[in-house]
Amino acid sequence: MITPVIDLGGTIIKVGLVRDGRMIHASSMPANAHEGLAKQFPRIESAIRQSCEKSGVKLSACAGVGLAFPGIIDPRANRIISSPKDKYDDGATIDLNDWSQQTLGLLARVENDAHAALLGEWQFGSGRAVENLVMVTLGTGIGTSVLIGGRPLRGRHHQAGVLGGHLIVDPNGRPCICGARGCFEAQCGSWAIPEIVRAEPHFSSSELSRQPQIDYSTIFRLAGAGDSLALRMRDRALGWWGALLVTLIHSFDPERIVIGGGIMRSADIIIPHLQKFIDANAWTPCARVLAVPAALGDDAGGLGLHWLFTTKELDYV
């Protein structure tokens, strides 16, 4: 089975071609998400056609096209319900099946991006053989998804489990892009960290003040070199991420938590700290919950979308 897959990130759009559970071609492009989804379709179509051409695959031989979207999705109706602020704001007005059939001659399946990543890791990566699983993706924002008894958690309005980054931990805290205050994302999301760092009293004396971009990769790199502010910001993030994992453990009772995102290039530092935090703070008298790094990297969402085409309809909780 062959499927083109599209992962619509807030910063990057990833386009891939998956054959029998393996990514055989992948490319990426700037998202330009503030322009809306419809304006990205010509570039996406071109990337899919190029992937097929370079891989020697005919579009007509593909099972369908999968789309991972960073918002609330109704998978049975195959439509976008709600988009994040300033990201593909026109998503809910677009008939994705109509677009894919008109331009590619293929049926489309759309899924929330965190759910797609969870399905990929569950079937092909660090979540294999685990029936109760939580996935956390530390990207531009914080994505979460939950599997209970081998069934993805969906809820009445299709948003259960995917809004972990918007759990409010300080009602008087920093403003979040969702409109609330004190969400985990506002406290420790990648989009929030530059402002948090620059507000620190000793910022000007830190090597961070001389960096062209302030992100967690930069913070972890400079922390490793001994920069005191970078060390403090790294430890601050690890504390917030640990609190998020314990909150999710207490909410959903998983056997394992898979953690993905670009910052997991520092998994050798992050995972031991988070496991120690879980062991010290999670109330889990029956069994220890393990924190493990994602195995599939940027391919997780695409492989999860591919797997959707192997099953007629998922049984959701």
pLDDT tens across 241-260, in order?
999 999 999 999 999 999 99
22: domain CATH number?
3.30.420.40
Separation between Cα atoms, residue 299 and residue 181, nearest integer Å: 32
pLDDT on residue 316: 77
Would you say residue 104 lies in a domain? yes
149 and 284 together in one domain: yes
Would you say residue 65 lies in a domain? yes
Three-state secondary-structure class, residue 35: helix
Q: What is the pTM of this model?
A: 0.94
Please count the structural domains in the chain: 2
Separation between Cα atoms, residue 238 and residue 258, nearest integer Å: 15
Query: Which of 47, 80, 112 is the C-terminal boundary of a domain?
Result: 112
Separation between Cα atoms, residue 96 and residue 108, nearest integer Å: 7
82 and 154 together in one domain: no
80 and 188 together in one domain: no
Q: Write down the residue that tokens 């399946």 correspond to.
A: 109
pLDDT on residue 86: 85
pLDDT on residue 285: 94
pLDDT on residue 123: 97
Separation between Cα atoms, residue 133 and residue 151, nearest integer Å: 10
145 and 265 together in one domain: yes
pLDDT on residue 193: 98
- pLDDT beneath 70: ranges in the chain: 312-313
131 and 279 together in one domain: yes
- According to DSSP H, which parts of the chain are helical? 41-55, 96-104, 113-124, 184-188, 193-198, 216-224, 228-252, 267-281, 300-308
94 and 132 together in one domain: no
pLDDT on residue 295: 98
Q: Look at the chain and count its residues.
A: 317
Query: Which of 85, 112, 139 is the C-terminal boundary of a domain?
Result: 112
Would you say residue 269 lies in a domain? yes
202 and 94 together in one domain: no
278 and 139 together in one domain: yes
Angle formed at CA 294 by CA 182 and CA 224, multiple of 5 degrees: 70
Would you say residue 130 lies in a domain? yes
pLDDT on residue 281: 98
Would you say residue 268 lies in a domain? yes
42 and 92 together in one domain: yes
pLDDT on residue 139: 86
Show the tokens assigned to 292.
């493990």
pLDDT on residue 10: 85
264 and 145 together in one domain: yes
- According to DSSP H, which parts of 38-165 are helical? 41-55, 96-104, 113-124
Would you say residue 317 lies in a domain? no
Angle formed at CA 105 by CA 70 and CA 120, multiple of 5 degrees: 35
pLDDT tens profile 188-222: 999 999 999 999 999 999 999 999 999 999 999 99
Would you say residue 303 lies in a domain? no
pLDDT on residue 76: 86
Would you say residue 306 lies in a domain? no
Show the tokens assigned to 148.
């209970």
106 and 149 together in one domain: no
| Phi and psi torsions of 299, nearest 5° | -85, -10
Q: What is the mean pLDDT of the chain?
A: 96
Query: Which of 90, 112, 134 is the C-terminal boundary of a domain?
Result: 112
Domain residue limits at 41? 2-112
